């Protein structure tokens, strides 16, 4: 099994064997229910579609997805769906429930989530511009500066760093070390930070 869906609970710390403080992020894995099984003869690859059961995500799904959730015996709150690759030794059937035991033997994982939205931001906050002089008399403080062109090419080039919507984008943090796995509560502690707010859905995959 390649990975599972989870909920970011927040950050805390753990103490290593040598006494060092290790910052960790707690992620509650699942409970995830297998909704659909894809095989090489039918689909060209081996994978499973899973749903995350969580009451916070009570959004309305299309009838086709809602029917698959009901057929698999999952809760109606299972509205966050994801697809993960499976290996040749994975024998998962529709209705199987999965949790933190998937990452019991994983050394490192990569976590994907939706980053926090910052709204409309200027160039100093969004791109790290230094800005203009702060002294009196200066009329150039936090503006982006001139971006105009001459007659050739007479346009603004694509990719120019300008003010705009910051955050709320799909972000992946790679090679996070798994510090602790609690199969009783389905909580995995990974070293470092992961994208998204507390309570946000994330994808946890084996690195």
Average pLDDT of span 167-191: 94
Own/partner pairs, 72-80, CB within 8 angstroms, 24+ separation: 72/33, 72/34, 72/35, 73/33, 74/33, 74/35, 77/53, 78/33, 78/51, 78/52, 78/53, 78/54, 79/51, 79/52, 80/5, 80/51, 80/52, 80/54, 80/201
**Residue 67 has what pLDDT?**
82
Burial of 12 (0-12, 13-18, 19+ CB in 10 A): exposed
Please give the Cα distance from 98 to 111 (Å, whole number): 17
Higher confidence at residue 20 or residue 1? 20
Residue 175 predicted with pLDDT over 80:
yes
User: What string of DSSP letters covers 10-65?
Assistant: EEEEEE-TTS-EEEEEEEEE--EEEEEEE-HHHHSS-EEEEEEE-TT------HHH
How do the residues of the chain divide into helix, strand and coil, expressed in percent and rounded to 5? 10, 40, 50
Q: What is the pLDDT of residues 17-63, one digit of tens each?
A: 899 999 999 999 988 889 888 888 898 999 999 988 875 555 677 78
pLDDT confidence band for 90 (50 / 70 / 90) = confident
Summarize pLDDT for 109-122 with one digit per residue, the tens: 999 999 999 999 99
Residue indicated by tokens 């389905």: 186
0.75 exceeded by pTM: yes
How far apart CA 77 and CA 33 sit, in angstroms, is 12
Average pLDDT over the chain reads 89
Give tens-digit pLDDT for 131-149: 999 999 999 999 999 988 8
pLDDT above 90 for 150: no
């Amino acid at each position: 099994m390649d990975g599972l869906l989870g909920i970011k609970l927040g950050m805390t710390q753990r103490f290593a064997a040598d006494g060092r403080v290790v910052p960790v992020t707690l992620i509650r894995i699942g409970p995830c229910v297998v909704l659909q099984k894809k095989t090489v003869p039918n689909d060209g690859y081996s994978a499973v579609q899973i749903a995350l059961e969580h009451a916070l995500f009570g959004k309305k799904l299309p009838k086709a997805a809602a029917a698959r959730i009901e057929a698999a015996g999952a809760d109606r709150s299972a509205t966050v769906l994801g697809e993960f690759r499976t290996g040749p030794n994975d024998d998962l059937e529709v209705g199987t429930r999965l949790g933190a035991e998937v990452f019991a033997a994983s050394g490192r994982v990569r976590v994907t989530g939706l980053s926090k939205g910052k709204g409309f931001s200027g160039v100093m906050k969004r791109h790290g511009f230094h800005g203009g002089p702060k002294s009196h008399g200066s009329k150039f403080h936090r503006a982006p500066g001139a971006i105009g062109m001459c007659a050739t090419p007479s346009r603004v080039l694509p990719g120019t760093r300008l003010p705009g919507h910051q955050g709320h984008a799909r972000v992946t943090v790679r090679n996070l070390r798994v510090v602790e796995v609690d199969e009783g509560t389905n909580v995995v502690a990974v070293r470092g930070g992961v994208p998204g707010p507390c309570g946000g859905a994330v994808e946890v995959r084996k690195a």
